[in-house]
Structure 1
Amino acid sequence: MWCDFVWCALAATLFLALPGVLLCRAFRFDAAASLCCSFMAATALYAVLAMVLPLVGVKASWVVLLCLALALAACAWAVSHFCARGAAVVLTGDALRRACCGRLSGNAGLVVLYGTIGIAVVSVIFVCNISSPDAFWRAWDNVHHLSSVRAFMESGNFSSLTTTSYATAADAAVTPFPGEAMFYPSAWHCLVAMVAQAVGAQPALAANAVNAVLMGIVLPLSMFALLRRLLPASLSVLACGAACVLAFGTFPWGFLTFGPLYPNLMSYALLPAAAFAFLTVFDRGIGCGRRAANIAFFVIGLVSLALSQPNAVF
């Protein structure tokens, strides 16, 4: 079962990073910033796609969402590359590899440091202290969280617009809450359902793996993007920041024990990357086109927060 946990964690990381990096590169960010903000960009992509698919009569699944997200991100990168070069773009494997990787601009060591410390701390504090990989708190918000994930998987409707625990026709026939389907920010539930489907795991196990990735990888790298923006010349301070991201009890750890507030955990893990996107809007010495692109990227950040948990926007 722990092997499934590792596979779920890897799946969650790849699902967020692959289309996210391509989309960030389409906005002409360097590789370090693209990697650190990729989770935010991919979250917005999946959440929006999940809302659109039911409107056009298409059932969602991890394959459909991943392929569509990759296709849209690749198209965005191709258009951006074409506009920058003024020439046709050939989407070869080597071109896509360069688009996703690029140069890490001297920050590779710091990115690895943030990720390594994040994974180590989460492994010791969270993973080693749950009784089993599919353990969950049998109370409060988990009634909604796990039921919604299961409903997503069974119905093929991952939309935040019509979230319900009684999503299939059979469930709707016996629901004690007729007409309850309504908007609920479900980016977290969407990602967990994708991971559970891809690996063939139970929702509770996939939820624990996704939460571990959010705390151990997404939050540290998102914070690195913000700190690197605020303190670009202070390498020693940036290095010390790697040890501070997960050093506070209220967040992220308190969100696991109060509620539990898993959608809020996701939104606040993405929040530093959204703050980075906001700061890029006020870059000096850039043209109107670049500033418009930065504003659009910030809007993507707002979408990722709003569809994870809207209070992060405020």
Structure 2
Amino acid sequence: MSWIDAVPALAATVVWFLAPGVLTSYALGLRGLAAWTVAPAFSTATLAVSAVVFGKLGIAWSTESAGIAAIVPAAVILLVRLVLRRGFSPAVQPDSRKVRLAGWLGLLPAVLIGLYIIVRGFRTPGTMSQTYDAVFHYNALRWVLESGEASSLTLGGFGATFYPGAWHDITSLVVLSSNASLTVAANMASGVIAVLVWPLACLFLSRQVFGPAIPALAITGTVSVSFAAFPWGLLNFGVLWPNALGFALVPIGVGAGLSILGLTTQDTLNRTAAWGLLITSVLATGFAQPNTTFSLAALLLLPACQALLSWMRGQHRAGRTVRGLLGGAAAVALAVGVWVFVHSLPMVTGIKDFPWAPYTSVAGAVGEVLLNATNGREALWWISAAVVAGMFFAFRDRSTLWLPPAHMATAVLFVMTAAIQSSTTHIFTGFWYNDSYRLAAMVPITGVLLAVYGVTGVAVKLRERVNLQELPIRMRNTRLASAPALTGVLGALLLVVVATGYQEEFVDDINGTYNKPANVQATLVDPAERAFYSRIDDIVPEDAVVANNPWDGSAMLWALTGTHVLFPHLSQSGSTEAQGYLAEHLNEASNNPKVCRLVHRLDVRYVINGTFRFWLDDNRIDNYPGLTNLRMNPGFELVEQQGRMELYRITACDPELASHTPEPRNGT
């Protein structure tokens, strides 16, 4: 499949991420940059919540049902505005044309650079991620498409338990809208998150922090795609597609929170829109991946402290010191209570002691954060210098005083996971599975703002130091000597650095996960195996299940072809007792009546043996002894073979088949 062929899937992805949200934004009264930059949060929350509601009502998940759901929030908001009329706060005046133009043109380099990285990193639109988590995500997509059930309440275990499904909801709609394959749709979704959703969210937050400052808005797009840890890092590690969606939406929630706290510059939201957007962001990040909701809360903690201290000082100056102290104490008590409550939630207790070994020293981890070289990546010197400069300028500005401490707090969380890992650090890092990659991806959220401040701040300082008398007369009173012009020059230099220096590293980051040479260790499914699976799909009836050891790559048989497998994920957690028994005893079918009873109950009629090259040192590979030595056991008929890959039909449990032994086909 060529990239031209993937355009319909790409277009469908953009539409589902933006269209529902734009309708809601305009209904709320937002216009211009504000309406479009926050749209992904509204879209994600709308579709994820709709999937849950449809699941409860028994309504199938489809483009038609999702399309109707997409217009409901806007219709409700407009109805409320019509009923309340004067009671509904007016919309904020949109930015000027120049400000909007600066923001949109500033996004163009981000989109172009991002598309280059995506195309080079994936190589082809349908390239499959060769990672542990990708197996679950691909098969979860297949479950949604086959069952018509997209609710996050039942996605875990495919119809059993909670799993945040926003990414799967949107990606499944891409498949349904464009008829793209699962791998193409997954790549388009993850690409749009990195290239469009994340830069839009950063642009919104930049607008909230810096106001209608043309220089800052013009370079935000370029800066947003200049960090390795995010958005590019999560296309390599995991692969953590739901996490990537959640992190991409966090800046929108932070911008809404700053509006409520009164820490914005010429706010682009009214009070109603700010509260609505914050609640929406909590829903969107929660249904994308709850640990990104904790990221949103953590990043708003420092601004909230700054706003609280400012309020307490105001109370003291007004002669209401006791009221200020009581209010502050109540806020602290509420925060502690929420902290204790959240730590008691089963969702948190189940992950807060997740084991990860430290991989570096404290000094090494600190150095990685300073150089934006987390998890052993190459140092990004220029963007790191901009971040450090931005911390200097942000400390001198009361409205951004919270920003450096928030960035440093995120850095500390990363250091805890990368270099320490103890029961004490798990109290703070357990929300993110104690995972350094997830916390590294959180650093660029504040890093983008600091880098933008660094570039614009340096430009202002340079302007202050320019001796106009030394310039040619024709330049002294022109815009060429202005701070915005100098910002443009520095931004252009940064663009050159990203386009010529950083982007190849980002491409390699993606390539390492998606394009593994055939026959190397850590390859889950290679082209030969995909071809073999296609032939199997023509042999196995639609209602039959294929027994499999998922570690040989066959877990992907369902996702890639629609042929059902007994074990669709690499972990046996959630497997039934019957599945576990067959994993251990299926090869005893000819002399074990219990095996045949379970075979009939689960409709298992075939067994597949594939190649083992994925995580060979993981002992879970050995949890399927009942699927071995089939050629040496009676009751299994070889019907398809290609090299070491084999497909057997189970004849031991069917007397008619047991007497029929045709020659197997041998694929080439």
TM-score bracket, shorter-length normalisation? 0.7 to 0.9
Match of 1:47 in 2: 48
Match of 1:120 in 2: 112
Residues 1:204 and 2:195 are matched in the alignment? no
- Relative to structure 1, is the Cα distance of residues 161 and 116 closer, same or farther in structure 2, using a 3 angstrom cutoff? same
Given candidates 144, 156, 159, the residue that maps to 1:152 is 144
Structure-2 separation of matches of 1:104 and 1:234: 10
Contact 1:192/1:206, CA 8 A, preserved across alignment = yes
Equivalent residues in 2 for 1:254-265 (5 A)?
254-265=233-244
- Relative to structure 1, is the Cα distance of residues 33 and 233 closer, same or farther in structure 2, using a 3 angstrom cutoff? closer
Given candidates 232, 238, 244, the residue that maps to 2:217 is 238
Match of 2:126 in 1: 134
Match of 1:287 in 2: none
Residues 1:27 and 2:22 are matched in the alignment? no
Given candidates 225, 228, 232, the residue that maps to 1:249 is 228
Match of 1:305 in 2: 285
Say which SS state the counterpart of residue 38 (structure 2) adopts. Answer: helix
- Relative to structure 1, is the Cα distance of residues 84 and 18 closer, same or farther in structure 2, using a 3 angstrom cutoff? farther
Contact 1:44/1:304, CA 8 A, preserved across alignment = yes
Structure-2 separation of matches of 1:83 and 1:10: 37
Match of 1:15 in 2: 16
Amino acid at match of 1:311: N
> Deviation at 1:79?
2.8
Stretches of structure 1 lacking an aligned partner (at least 5 in a row): 87-98, 168-180, 285-289
- Relative to structure 1, is the Cα distance of residues 114 and 157 closer, same or farther in structure 2, using a 3 angstrom cutoff? farther
Say which SS state the counterpart of residue 3 (structure 1) adopts. Answer: coil
Equivalent residues in 2 for 1:216-295 (5 A)?
216-283=195-262, 291=271, 293-295=273-275
Match of 2:70 in 1: 69
- Relative to structure 1, is the Cα distance of residues 113 and 81 closer, same or farther in structure 2, using a 3 angstrom cutoff? farther
Match of 2:276 in 1: 296
> Deviation at 1:82?
5.3
Aligned length: 283
Say which SS state the counterpart of residue 132 (structure 1) adopts. Answer: coil
Contact 1:127/1:212, CA 8 A, preserved across alignment = no
Structure-2 separation of matches of 1:48 and 1:265: 19
> Deviation at 1:113?
2.1
Contact 1:20/1:41, CA 8 A, preserved across alignment = yes
- Relative to structure 1, is the Cα distance of residues 134 and 58 closer, same or farther in structure 2, using a 3 angstrom cutoff? same
Contact 1:147/1:165, CA 8 A, preserved across alignment = no
Structure-1 separation of matches of 2:207 and 2:128: 36
Match of 1:170 in 2: none
Structure-2 separation of matches of 1:11 and 1:310: 26
Structure-1 separation of matches of 2:109 and 2:11: 17
Structure-2 separation of matches of 1:138 and 1:242: 30
Structure-2 separation of matches of 1:293 and 1:129: 38
Structure-2 separation of matches of 1:136 and 1:235: 40
User: Percent identical across equivalent pairs?
Assistant: 30
Amino acid at match of 1:9: L
Structure-1 separation of matches of 2:202 and 2:56: 35
- Relative to structure 1, is the Cα distance of residues 230 and 103 closer, same or farther in structure 2, using a 3 angstrom cutoff? closer
Amino acid at match of 2:8: W
> Deviation at 1:52?
0.7
Contact 1:144/1:165, CA 8 A, preserved across alignment = no
Say which SS state the counterpart of residue 132 (structure 2) adopts. Answer: coil
Contact 1:25/1:31, CA 8 A, preserved across alignment = no
> Deviation at 1:114?
3.8
Structure-1 separation of matches of 2:119 and 2:157: 28
Say which SS state the counterpart of residue 195 (structure 1) adopts. Answer: helix
Say which SS state the counterpart of residue 184 (structure 1) adopts. Answer: coil
Structure-2 separation of matches of 1:85 and 1:200: 46
TM-score norm. by structure 1 comes to 0.83
Structure-1 separation of matches of 2:157 and 2:287: 18
- Relative to structure 1, is the Cα distance of residues 127 and 104 closer, same or farther in structure 2, using a 3 angstrom cutoff? farther
> Deviation at 1:192?
0.4
Structure-2 separation of matches of 1:233 and 1:16: 25
> Deviation at 1:198?
0.6
- Relative to structure 1, is the Cα distance of residues 118 and 240 closer, same or farther in structure 2, using a 3 angstrom cutoff? closer
> Deviation at 1:115?
3.2
Say which SS state the counterpart of residue 4 (structure 2) adopts. Answer: helix
> Deviation at 1:228?
0.6
Can you list the C-alpha shifts for 1:242-283, whole angstroms capped at 9, x where unaligned?
211010111111101110111111011111111111122134
Contact 1:151/1:164, CA 8 A, preserved across alignment = no
Say which SS state the counterpart of residue 133 (structure 1) adopts. Answer: coil
Select the structure with the greater relative contact order (CA < 8 A; seq sep ≥ 6): 1
Contact 2:109/2:222, CA 8 A, preserved across alignment = yes
Say which SS state the counterpart of residue 281 (structure 1) adopts. Answer: helix
Contact 1:4/1:201, CA 8 A, preserved across alignment = no
Contact 2:30/2:94, CA 8 A, preserved across alignment = no
Can you list the C-alpha shifts for 1:153-192, whole angstroms capped at 9, x where unaligned?
111001111014655xxxxxxxxxxxxx211111001100
Amino acid at match of 2:44: T
Match of 1:95 in 2: none
Amino acid at match of 1:299: I
Say which SS state the counterpart of residue 244 (structure 1) adopts. Answer: helix
Structure-1 separation of matches of 2:106 and 2:9: 21
Match of 1:3 in 2: 4
Structure-1 separation of matches of 2:170 and 2:181: 13
Contact 1:17/1:42, CA 8 A, preserved across alignment = yes
Higher mean C-alpha deviation, range 49-58 or range 228-237:
228-237
> Deviation at 1:15?
1.6
Contact 1:8/1:196, CA 8 A, preserved across alignment = yes
Contact 1:114/1:220, CA 8 A, preserved across alignment = no
Say which SS state the counterpart of residue 120 (structure 1) adopts. Answer: helix
Contact 2:134/2:239, CA 8 A, preserved across alignment = yes
Structure-2 separation of matches of 1:147 and 1:36: 31
> Deviation at 1:293?
4.9
- Relative to structure 1, is the Cα distance of residues 79 and 31 closer, same or farther in structure 2, using a 3 angstrom cutoff? farther
Can you list the C-alpha shifts for 1:72-108, whole angstroms capped at 9, x where unaligned?
323323433553469xxxxxxxxxxxx9xx9664333
Amino acid at match of 2:290: P
TM-score norm. by structure 2 comes to 0.40
Can you list the C-alpha shifts for 1:10-66, whole angstroms capped at 9, x where unaligned?
111112222201212233323311110011011000000000101111111122112
> Deviation at 1:142?
0.3
Contact 2:202/2:251, CA 8 A, preserved across alignment = yes
Contact 2:140/2:168, CA 8 A, preserved across alignment = yes
Match of 1:187 in 2: 166
Match of 2:459 in 1: none
Amino acid at match of 1:66: G
